[in-house]
Structure 1
Amino acid sequence: MGVSDVSKRILLGRKLRSSQLGETLLPKRIALPVFASDALSSVAYAPDEIFIMLSLAGASAFVWSWKIGIVVACVMAAVVASYRQTVHAYPSGGGDYEVATVNLGSKAGTTVASALLVDYVLTVAVSISSGAQYAAGAIHPLNGHEAWFATLLVIVLAALNLRGIRESGTFFAIPTYAFMVAVLGMCAYGFFQFAFGDLPKAASAQYDLAPASGYGDTMTTAALVFLLARAFSSGCAALTGVEAISNGVPAFRRPKSKNAATTLLLLGLIAITMMLSIIVLAKQMGVQIVDPGDLSRLTLNGQPVTADQHPLIAQMADAIFHDFRAAFYFIITVTGIILVLAANTAFNGFPVLGSILAKDGYAPRALGSRGDRLAYSNGILFLAIMAIILIQIFDAEPTRLIQLYIVGVFVSFNLSQLGMIRHWTRHLKTEKDPSERARMYRSRVINAVGLTFTAVVLVIVLITKFFAGAWITILAMIVFYIVMRGIHRHYANVSEELAADDEDKMMPSRVHAIVLVSKLHKPTLRALAFAKATRPNVLEGVYVSVDPEATNRLLEEWDERNLDVPLKVLHSPYRELVRPIVEYAMEIRRANPRGVVAVYIPEYVVGRWWEQFLHNQTALRLKGRLLFAPGVMVTSVPYQLRSSEIVREREEREGTWVRPNEVRFGDVPERRRDRQIPRR
């Protein structure tokens, strides 16, 4: 096993057979943290965004926080209920993409796919950047290097997911459950204190919060409505990640649909409970929070506040567990970790969606290939690269990245709900069973309510966030849409061009074989012998002359050996080797358009990597040129140098070499044949 193989096995673990795919499927206890970490982690910043928006009108506007929270919770409940219908109707893992494609057409499906792809990339970038900022606040040396630290975190997450979703899911389960316990436990203890009148005030409650310019008491009703709409659209960040379960249904254990629907219900209940609890407690504790770039509006005794501003959860934990610092540090730690691990939802959803797009011809087919650990490795790597580029461009600043968020996911929400309504309407036309029809009517109503809610949110998001950065997301979606349609068109054209017809049965009228000669040595003689065995109509050796003396020596040796193959000498006054051969092959082809030109190239097989740079360079360039020559077939005739035996001997020692006779005569036992090891 080479160095690269050893490092790959250390990074990814042992290879898995295709038959072991069922072993990588997830039970509900693991699927919940794997697919729900994104939606649950949004609890760590969605309430902050609501309060930050409302702070523009001053502390008095915080009275609207719990009302906006309830509206966001209603939208989330409607979306969760809608997606429970989706996972039952479309359990193949296509999610929104499949629903839109089947019911609304390929263009709608491509639109959904482009929106989801952009949203998955943003999920990784936003979550990892938030985690990097938390880490920089606790580890001083990371200040100013957040982007590179975030890049490192993306690489680590990608490596974990390359090992397979079951192993990565087990790794992510502990911190995700710890986050649930920490936040819900903090909120429960906070409500207990509130019930007995002992709920402490947050440290920031002593600050005075001045309204932003143009807001406050002079604000008109229209301005207040617009502000509430902005706060609502920011709070809807809590809905991101809900759709990931519908895209990941194939990763669940059987019964897949039922387990996915149950996990989705648990996700909705936990996320809504956590979000509303944080918002209500934050309001009761008098938390003051503003945009990080607008701290001058916070004052204490008339003087601007110079202390660092902490997120809502950090401020609440600091006050509630003022006398129990271990709990405070535990909550801060697991919150920072969950923000990083939230990106794992995208690392599970993006590759599955990419594989479906590749199968349908809208993405490169490489995205549909499973790696050594049965994960869609190419999709994981592509997502990691795109997220790293975004993190570097925006310098890992969540405040800048968050403005790009939400748009894509709500575009897919809307088209998915509309597709589900058409799905149920189509099936109702043929269904006769009364109980089944009643179930379909109920499902259609649920999806209609979901469409109404998500459509309103999408309009609000577009109005309030377009110039703040949402236009970048829309532009990226358009680019993805154009690229995917172009890929699909290319695959369709290639498929049509490669379709077999009766003309393909016709034999070539003539085969003109040429063997490339550099010297008269063993590789050349082997290539000549192989070319003869194919019985071409014409066979000749071809030599490019750049040195008269070397040419004369070759001609003399050719005549001395009395080879029954003519030798054609192509003179090259400019010492070119590739061009004369290509032009000669094309002349033969033009002289006989229905014939075939077979070019045989002797090549050395070497065993050491550095020997590759010393041999076969001309052959590689020549094959690259002849690939574009119609009617020209290129055949490499290998000749194994002694150094190539190093590879064979190493494989024999490691048990990866199978002797031909063992396989041919069935001497390899079943166990050893699977592992491809020789008989000892």
Structure 2
Amino acid sequence: MTSLLAVPKRLLLGRARPSSREEDTLLPKRLALPVFAADPVSSVAYATQELLVILALGGVATLVLAPEVALAVCVVVAVVVISYGPLVRAYPGGGGSFAVASRNLGPRAGLVAAAALLVDYTLTVAVSAAAAIDNLVSVLPVLDSARIPLAVAAVLLVMVVNLRGRREAGWSAMLPVYGFVLVIGVLVVTGLLRWAGGDAPVAASAGYEVVRDTDLTTVALGLIVLRAFAGGGAALAGVDAIANGGPAFRRPKGRNAAVTLLGVGGMTIALIGGVVALAVISGVTVTRDACDLGGLPEPCETFTQQTVLAQLAEAVFGPGSVGAVLVAVVTVAVLLAAANSAFNGFPLLAATLADSGYLPRQLARRGDRLAHSNGILVLGLGAVAVLLVLEARVGPLLDLYLVGLFTSFTLAQVGMARHWSLRTRPGWRGPRAGPRAGMALAVVAAVCTGTVLVVLLLTKVPNGAWASVLVMVVVGVGMQRIHGHYALVADEVALPDDDATEAMPARVHAVVLVSRLHRPVTRALAYARATRPSTLEAVTVASDPALAQELAEEWARRRITVPLRVLDSPYREITRPLVEHVRSLRARGPRDAVTVFLPEYVVAHWWEAVLHNRSNIWLRARLAATPGVMVVSVPWQLASTLADGDLAARAAGERSLVQEATRAGAADSDRDPLG
């Protein structure tokens, strides 16, 4: 049967790859860097903006602290990046925070880390898509009304690219990442050179003022600074994806992942520092709500704020210039490529969890292109759902995103501290200097990320980020239930030590389901007799008494030896009477078994499947749930599905099947029952 999706699937994804080519899908450093760097590098576009947006709440009093807050963010980024180097070397098999927390802090801590990461990856894709559309709208404000469908389309585009394979996703991310680093580097250097020469660039929003109803207390200003620091922590996006993506690297996996991580961290720190410095110099002012700004050239309800990078590009290169357009293009491209990190990390983590029995086993399977297609599809659809619920707004998405991000970071670093502590105890055979330095680094990183997490819990959760915590709890409980189910099933189906054989049934009752008399039914009758059951009968359900009577008369006229039982059905049901009859056969003896033969059509085209076998689907499900009952499908291939040779062979053998199902010597046994 030709699937409706077969041709479009091949056009979108390409030809299937054999398992022997799995090594070809692994990423060398030149491809791994753009794939995993896209997320943290692109976070420059929204992490710096989030930092300035929150500082703007305090007006000039807090905006002047932007360089200090940015420096603190860069320090945290550096500490986390450096501390993750030993982590990816110690756990090159993937799993990231989940693997570290599970092995060093216990299964529950591992589940918390895994739930945080799964939610975090989903929000990473949503944030990247929403931020990309934000930067697109900055250049083309007319697209603001189409923000949601554009963001959804962006997610689906990235999802399809990743379904084509890991290397294809790497090549698609290479140009955007390297182009973004180059263009933003030129932007920052040009702006700083102009400032050093006395011609500092001035942003279009430099003359706007932040409107506040009341003055803020010192405590409130301090909380704003802490919130800005925590918001800038979005620059750590994608760091854990490298730890989870260890299996995607070529050997030596741990070393290549650690080198990639250091390169990504260095680029991210340089870009954040440069962008924040240039934003302060040019006087960029940005808020989440345009109505919080004073001095706008038009009513705030119709005013579209530009992103920080768009404002800097126009301030440095000029409005409408080639440089400003180029900045917008590479920013949108790198934000779309940023989702590649999540589309690499989420499926690998989901596969690890599935292998451990915490997620459905289907997530561990590879698709036609040797990618974990099921995980990619789940991530893409989850991100689309989040975008629809939060209307593709970056601010609310970041509030949810940051809680999961720093939860996984903190658990990973606490787990690494435990990892190193075991190697400094008496009895450890090996050098102690390395483990002690590693433990000190992990403790420092845990303090840094834990501090940010506490700030987020105090400032973000009451304002809506509680939803992220709730989803993490639901995901964690769900994984625990799945693991429990798999464990129970494994215990139930395990072979006993003393006997590996199953007792044979005392008797086997064969039942052939008949709706009308035709060649598929005679074939099913013949195959049922070939199994030599203890009893054999044909059963039809009289949902239409007139048709049932015609069938019984035709059955008798053709003198078929197999008895036909007609089940009464006053309410025109098919499934219930048949299931009750099968159960009555099963009740004749505790060791008896019943085999139900279902004649079914095999069709050539997808649309034909809608026209046939629909009642059998529900019937098979009900029968399969009945103890001691086996369901056997007897396929009848329609002529459109067979080649000429197969059709001739079937015609030659059909006479013997009919003779087997009917009395020998019957006058019409050779005739086509459909004729």
TM-score normalized with structure 2 length: 0.89
| Structure 1 residues 561 and 293: CA distance shift in structure 2, 3 A | same
Distance 2:540 2:494 in 1: 38
Task: Please state how far the C-alpha of 1:621 moved relative to its aligned partner.
Answer: 3.5
Counterpart amino acid of residue 634 in structure 1 = V
Task: Flag structure 2 segments of 5+ consecutive residues without an equivalent.
Answer: 648-675
Distance 2:54 2:178 in 1: 30
Counterpart amino acid of residue 11 in structure 1 = L
Task: Please state how far the C-alpha of 1:440 moved relative to its aligned partner.
Answer: 1.5
2:629 is matched with 632
Task: Please state how far the C-alpha of 1:550 moved relative to its aligned partner.
Answer: 5.5
Q: How does 1:516-527 map to 2 (within 5 A)?
A: 516-527=513-524
Task: Please state how far the C-alpha of 1:617 moved relative to its aligned partner.
Answer: 3.4
| Structure 1 residues 584 and 440: CA distance shift in structure 2, 3 A | same
Counterpart amino acid of residue 212 in structure 1 = R
Task: Please state how far the C-alpha of 1:374 moved relative to its aligned partner.
Answer: 0.9
| Structure 1 residues 108 and 557: CA distance shift in structure 2, 3 A | same
Note if 1:407 corresponds to 2:403.
Answer: yes
| Structure 1 residues 184 and 617: CA distance shift in structure 2, 3 A | closer
| Structure 1 residues 639 and 221: CA distance shift in structure 2, 3 A | closer
2:487 is matched with 492
Task: Please state how far the C-alpha of 1:646 moved relative to its aligned partner.
Answer: 6.4
Q: Paired residue for 2:458, among 454, 459, 463?
A: 463
1:379 is matched with 375
Note if 1:483 corresponds to 2:483.
Answer: no
Task: Please state how far the C-alpha of 1:63 moved relative to its aligned partner.
Answer: 2.5
For 1:50-109, what per-residue CA distance to the aligned partner results, in whole angstroms no more than 9, with x for missing partners? 222222332243321111111111111111011111100001111001111111111111
Distance 1:568 1:200 in 2: 91
Q: Paired residue for 1:266, among 263, 270, 273?
A: 263
Note if 1:314 corresponds to 2:310.
Answer: yes
> How many correspondences in the alignment?
644
Q: How does 1:506-655 map to 2 (within 5 A)?
A: 506-545=503-542, 554-555=551-552, 558=555, 563-645=560-642
Contact 1:431 1:437 in 2 (8 A): no
1:654 is matched with none
Counterpart amino acid of residue 528 in structure 2 = A
Task: Please state how far the C-alpha of 1:626 moved relative to its aligned partner.
Answer: 1.0
Q: Paired residue for 2:283, among 283, 286, 289?
A: 286
Task: Please state how far the C-alpha of 1:7 moved relative to its aligned partner.
Answer: 1.0
Counterpart amino acid of residue 232 in structure 2 = G
Q: How does 1:29-108 map to 2 (within 5 A)?
A: 29-108=30-109
Contact 1:543 1:567 in 2 (8 A): yes
Contact 1:55 1:211 in 2 (8 A): no
1:172 is matched with 173
Contact 1:240 1:409 in 2 (8 A): yes
Note if 1:349 corresponds to 2:350.
Answer: no
Distance 2:400 2:566 in 1: 65
Distance 1:378 1:648 in 2: 38
Counterpart amino acid of residue 338 in structure 2 = A
Secondary structure, counterpart of 2:460 in structure 1: helix
Secondary structure, counterpart of 2:125 in structure 1: helix
Secondary structure, counterpart of 2:635 in structure 1: strand
Q: CA RMSD in A?
A: 2.7
Distance 2:61 2:550 in 1: 99
Q: How does 1:75-474 map to 2 (within 5 A)?
A: 75-205=76-206, 207=207, 209-210=209-210, 212-215=212-215, 219-298=216-295, 308-322=304-318, 325-429=321-425, 432-434=428-430, 436-474=431-469
| Structure 1 residues 323 and 11: CA distance shift in structure 2, 3 A | closer
Contact 1:626 1:632 in 2 (8 A): yes
| Structure 1 residues 571 and 331: CA distance shift in structure 2, 3 A | closer
| Structure 1 residues 537 and 432: CA distance shift in structure 2, 3 A | same
Contact 1:88 1:258 in 2 (8 A): yes
Which structure 1 residue ranges, 4+ long, deviate > 6 Å from structure 2? 303-307, 646-650
Counterpart amino acid of residue 455 in structure 1 = G
Distance 2:548 2:282 in 1: 94
Distance 1:603 1:65 in 2: 71
Contact 1:91 1:249 in 2 (8 A): yes
Contact 1:606 1:641 in 2 (8 A): yes
Contact 1:607 1:647 in 2 (8 A): no
Bigger shift: 133-142 or 414-423?
133-142
Contact 1:127 1:342 in 2 (8 A): yes
Distance 1:236 1:614 in 2: 56
Counterpart amino acid of residue 316 in structure 2 = I
Counterpart amino acid of residue 422 in structure 2 = R
Bigger shift: 251-260 or 560-569?
560-569
Contact 2:508 2:534 in 1 (8 A): yes
| Structure 1 residues 438 and 515: CA distance shift in structure 2, 3 A | same
Distance 2:484 2:445 in 1: 34
| Structure 1 residues 535 and 323: CA distance shift in structure 2, 3 A | closer
Distance 2:141 2:454 in 1: 41
Secondary structure, counterpart of 2:357 in structure 1: coil
Distance 1:505 1:44 in 2: 64
Contact 2:101 2:110 in 1 (8 A): yes
| Structure 1 residues 44 and 549: CA distance shift in structure 2, 3 A | closer
Distance 1:85 1:58 in 2: 41
Contact 1:212 1:297 in 2 (8 A): no
For 1:353-411, what per-residue CA distance to the aligned partner results, in whole angstroms no more than 9, with x for missing partners? 11111111111112111111111111111111111111111211212322222100101
| Structure 1 residues 304 and 565: CA distance shift in structure 2, 3 A | closer
Distance 1:9 1:515 in 2: 40
Percent identical pairs in the alignment equals 44
Distance 2:612 2:303 in 1: 66
For 1:286-335, what per-residue CA distance to the aligned partner results, in whole angstroms no more than 9, with x for missing partners? 333334334433479xx999975433322222222239922222112211
Bigger shift: 559-568 or 270-279?
559-568
| Structure 1 residues 472 and 554: CA distance shift in structure 2, 3 A | closer
TM-score normalized with structure 1 length: 0.89
1:672 is matched with none
Contact 2:56 2:63 in 1 (8 A): yes
Task: Please state how far the C-alpha of 1:251 moved relative to its aligned partner.
Answer: 0.7
Task: Please state how far the C-alpha of 1:509 moved relative to its aligned partner.
Answer: 1.3
Task: Please state how far the C-alpha of 1:208 moved relative to its aligned partner.
Answer: 5.6
Secondary structure, counterpart of 1:83 in structure 2: helix
Distance 1:258 1:554 in 2: 74
